[in-house]
């Protein structure tokens, strides 16, 4: 690669850091090295209900078909681990994936990548630029690894020697020849802490995740009722799961984020499981404005709150679950409230279930109540 390509690469990486990103690296536009593995993963159904991963597959495997004229990929990363009081948020926040505690990173990083693209286009007129932040058919972790931002870990996350896996990723595909960065060597070695700690066994083998078992899939992506056999495995996670990251030795002392928008805002700091379960639509829209947790939708978050209550099995949740079972207009939420009451047990829970059984008209909810009483 010539001297000019190296200078351009260093310039663009410096600009990325000036835009507020913590890491930047460059990869050549080439066909995906792990494309066959991705196709096998899809054929085996490990994407669960995420049908969007099956669309535009060729674009995921061949970046030139996605962005005609692209020659290089400028990959960026932003740290999102924000030091904060772990007791903040009472019952809810300790069991929300850390990336989702602050404002939506798609908007934050997308705006910065747009500004970076404008600077590139202004300096190199006619250059093709196309930014992505988890919003297109892009194998982001593969590109980041090829750009030297880390190595893929056995938990399938990107691992950086200093930042661990607490990184948000973005890319700019562009029509410039840039000198690529060297890859990072494997960081996992013989360690299998993440595989052993996964509550559901979703890490079925090193570097292989089965979404059908993943807590993050069930609490974020899945729509509708969570199967009864899955609910106990979800534990008290309300949105996402960080277990495989929390046990990773590379994450023992990572660099932390400095971006205030990624921290837990006051509007959501006091939300607990009971409040989330009973939250009306207006309050939901107000409290979760700009939050990535809106991806699960209000019904999904309330469903997840009921599951978390059932798995905590604390009698103090019975009154709220009984109120929801009695008055909610969302059958899905009523069904999971019935299940939670059955898990908690006790005279008050049973009385609430018997009362609901006498008036419930929805067959699916009636079945949940019968199972809970049984």
Q: What's the rounded Cα separation, in Å, for the pair 110 and 325?
A: 41
Cross-strand partners of 28 = 72
Distance CA 38, CA 156 (A): 12
Unique residue bearing structure tokens 């066959």: 36
Q: The tokens of 75 are what?
A: 């990959």
Distance, in Å, from the CA atom of 18 to the CA atom of 59, rounded to the nearest integer, reads: 30
Identified catalytic residue from 134, 177, 181, 330: 134
Active site residue 103: no
Query: Distance from first CA to last CA of the chain, Å, rounded?
Result: 70
d(Cα 96, Cα 273) in Å, to the nearest integer? 11
- The SS3 call for residue 23 is strand
In the chain, at which residue ranges do the beta strands (DSSP E only) sit? 23-28, 72-79, 129-132, 151-152, 158-159, 167-174, 203-205, 208-209
List active site positions. Answer: 134
């Amino acid at each position: 690669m010539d001297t000019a390509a190296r200078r351009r690469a260093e310039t663009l990486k410096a600009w990325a850091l000036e835009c507020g990103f913590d890491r930047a690296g460059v990869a050549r536009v080439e066909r995906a090295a792990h494309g066959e593995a991705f196709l096998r993963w899809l054929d085996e159904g490990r994407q669960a209900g995420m049908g969007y991963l099956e669309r535009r597959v060729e674009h995921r495997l061949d970046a030139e078909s996605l962005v005609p004229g692209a020659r290089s990929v400028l990959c960026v990363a932003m740290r999102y681990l924000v030091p904060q009081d772990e007791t903040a948020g009472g019952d809810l926040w300790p069991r929300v994936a850390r990336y989702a505690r602050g404002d939506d990173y798609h908007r934050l990083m997308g705006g910065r990548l747009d500004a970076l693209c404008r600077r590139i286009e202004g300096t190199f007129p006619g250059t093709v630029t196309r930014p992505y932040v988890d919003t297109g058919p892009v194998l982001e972790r593969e590109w980041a690894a090829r750009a030297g931002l880390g190595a893929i870990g056995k938990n399938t996350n990107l691992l950086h020697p200093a930042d661990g896996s607490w990184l948000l990723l973005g890319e700019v595909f562009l029509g410039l020849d840039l000198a690529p960065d060297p890859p990072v060597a494997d960081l996992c070695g013989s360690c299998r802490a993440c595989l052993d700690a996964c509550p559901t066994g979703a890490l079925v083998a090193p570097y292989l995740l089965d979404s059908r078992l993943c807590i993050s899939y069930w609490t974020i992506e899945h729509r509708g009722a969570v199967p009864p056999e899955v609910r106990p495995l979800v534990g008290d996670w309300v949105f996402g799961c960080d277990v495989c990251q929390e046990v990773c030795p590379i994450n023992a002392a990572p660099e932390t984020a400095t971006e205030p928008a990624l921290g837990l805002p006051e509007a959501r700091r006091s939300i607990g499981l009971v409040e989330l379960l009973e939250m009306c639509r207006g309050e939901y829209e107000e409290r979760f404005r700009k939050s990535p947790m809106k991806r699960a939708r209000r019904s999904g978050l309330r469903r997840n709150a009921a599951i978390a209550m059932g798995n905590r099995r604390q009698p103090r949740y019975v009154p709220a679950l009984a109120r929801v079972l009695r008055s909610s207009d969302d059958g899905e939420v009523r069904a999971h409230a019935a299940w939670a009451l059955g898990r908690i047990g006790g005279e008050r829970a049973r009385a609430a279930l018997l009362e609901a059984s006498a008036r419930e008209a929805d067959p699916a909810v009636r079945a949940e109540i019968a199972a809970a009483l049984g």
